Amino acid sequence: MDEALRNYIRAKCAEYRSDKLLPLVMPTFGEDEILEALDSMTSMQVTMGRKVRQFEQDFSDYLSSKYSTMVNSGSSANLLALSILSNPLVKNRIRAGDEIIVPAVTWSTTIFPAINIGARAVLVDVDEDYLLDIEKMKEMISEKTKAIMPVHLLGNVCDMGAISDLAEDHKLFLVEDTCEALGSEYGGKKAGTFSDISTFSFYFSHHITTIEGGMLCTSNFDCAELSKILRAHGYIRDSMKKQEYVDANPDIDPRFMFVNTGYNLRPTDLAGAFGLHQLKKLEGFISKRREIAAKLLAALKKYESYLVLPREKNGTRHSWFAFPLTVREGSPFTCKQLMAHLEKNGIETRPVVGGNLAEQPAFEHFDHKNGDLTNARYIMRNAFYFGIHPNIDDNAIGQVCLAFERFFSSLRK
């Protein structure tokens, strides 16, 4: 029966077709993940439990980070990270009005948690690689600065050497938003291991998926302990020093003992089930993404006078979340025209995430500070990305390159 079920699921998964030549996202899960999730459901072990704990352990082993705490999204991981660093139990914690440096070009929920904890987001410009501009960041550090939140955007890695030095010199917390860069490396070390806390997303379009899901990693026991408590209700169920709380509060039923504030950011064990299998496939997925990126780079190199091509920086491993392009100033076409042409040819495009977030309407309502955001403004109007995922075959890559070819040859007419 098991084999019959496996074959049935495999056949159903193989039926999946996208109506696009190059969709933004293609599913990377199949019978392994579905059968594991089915096992959770049929054994009625559906809420956070054994499989989430095992996935957390496997994730820590993969990353070489001491502690991992799974949550229901990357956004939740970011909220949890800043909630920990602003918690009264943390020494020299972030307080209301303190400043947190973030890149202006990122996803909204890198920045919103700063606002949620009452801190002031300081939006700093990015460079040609869409990563925090170190020199401009230095100018924005003030006596109010308490943390830096670098984002490894689209799988490319920030200059963690320079950022770590700055954090150390100014005694700042470091939180790496690694939601788009699982498996990327800097100096042979995994992105997400350079900071006090790092965060990951397992949304459907990311390197691995638990459908929705995220992870918070840290090598600091106190941060890990708070992550377990704040993740779920502020109670001690997942505390790593539960007995201490129990001994200190003999009159309170330990089954419902609350020792801090908290949210409910828990994942289900179905998400854990997916994670267990997806993580085993991650290195294979990254190799495939890297191969595809190399082929695209080779084919598009001839348009470099019009387009800023993405690159893997020296001493890093890029994990190619997507393939971004910036249309250079003075090009005889607009970014909108190129995107429209690609969309017409079945290649799905998106802006480089939130563009310059300082220009998004949400920021009209909240206190924040902006540096000089010249590049972010340019990127918002002149850059876009299309998807890279492990399932793109050579035929699709060839057709994508042909679509570019047709666009550029139409310019010459």
Ligand X SMILES: Cc1ncc(COP(=O)(O)O)c(C=O)c1O
Kindly list the residues in this chain that would bind ligand X in the complex (CB under 6 A).
73-75, 78, 106-107, 109-110, 151, 177, 179-180, 201, 203, 214, 353
CA nearest to 242, candidates 231, 228, 261, 232: 228
Nearest distance, CB of residue 153 and ligand X, angstroms: 6
With respect to ligand X, which residue has the nearer C-beta, 354 or 404?
354
CB nearer to ligand X: give 109 or 326.
109
Residue ranges of alpha helices (H) inside 121-211 are 134-140, 160-170
Distance, CA of 195 to CA of 192 (rounded, Å): 7
Least distance CB 240 / ligand X (angstroms): 25
- CB nearer to ligand X: give 203 or 333: 203
The phi-psi region of residue 127 (left if phi > 0; otherwise alpha if psi is between -120 and 50; otherwise beta) is beta
Identify each DSSP E strand in 314-408 by its residue range: 316-317, 322-327, 349-351, 368-370, 383-387
User: In this structure, are residues 84 and 199 in contact, taking their beta carbons and an 8 Å threshold?
Assistant: no
> Rounded to the nearest whole angstrom, what is the least distance from the CB of residue 318 to ligand X in the complex?
15
At its nearest, how many Å lie between ligand X and the CB of residue 305?
Answer: 30
Q: Which is nearer to ligand X, 179 or 197 (CB)?
A: 179
206 is catalytic: yes
Task: For residues 10 and 238, give the distance between their C-alpha atoms in angstroms, rounded to a whole number.
Answer: 36
CB of 26 to ligand X, least distance (A): 16
Minimum distance, C-beta of residue 78 to ligand X, in the bound complex (Å): 6
24 vs 207: CA distance, rounded Å:
13
What tokens were used for 245? 């709380």
Nearer to ligand X, 300 or 380 (CB): 380
CA geometry: angle 405, 407, 410, nearest 5 deg? 105
Alpha carbon dihedral 70, 76, 80, 86, in 10-degree steps, equals 170
Residue whose pair of structure tokens reads 């392009």 in the numeric block: 325
CB of 72 to ligand X, least distance (A): 8
Residue 300 has which token pair? 């598009």
Residue with tokens 């308490």: 146
Listing from the earlier edge strand, what are the strands of the sheet with 189-190? Answer: 189-190, 185-186, 316-317
Residue 147: closest CA among 184, 195, 109: 195
Closest residue by Cα to residue 296 from 383, 387, 381, 380? 387
- Kindly tell me which of 320 and 404 has the beta carbon lying closer to ligand X: 320
The single-letter code of the amino acid at 298 is: A
Q: What minimum distance in Å lies between the beta carbon of 201 and ligand X? A: 3
18 Cα distance to chain centroid: 24
Question: Which one from 152, 206, 207, 318 is the annotated catalytic residue?
Answer: 206
Give CA–CA dist 278/210, Å, rounded.
8
Of 94 and 191, which has the nearer Cβ to ligand X? Answer: 191
Helix H or strand E encompassing 59: helix 50-63
Nearer to ligand X, 201 or 326 (CB): 201
Q: Name the closest residue to ligand X (Cβ).
A: 74
Q: Copy the structure tokens of residue 221.
A: 């026991």
The residues annotated with a catalytic role in the active site are 206
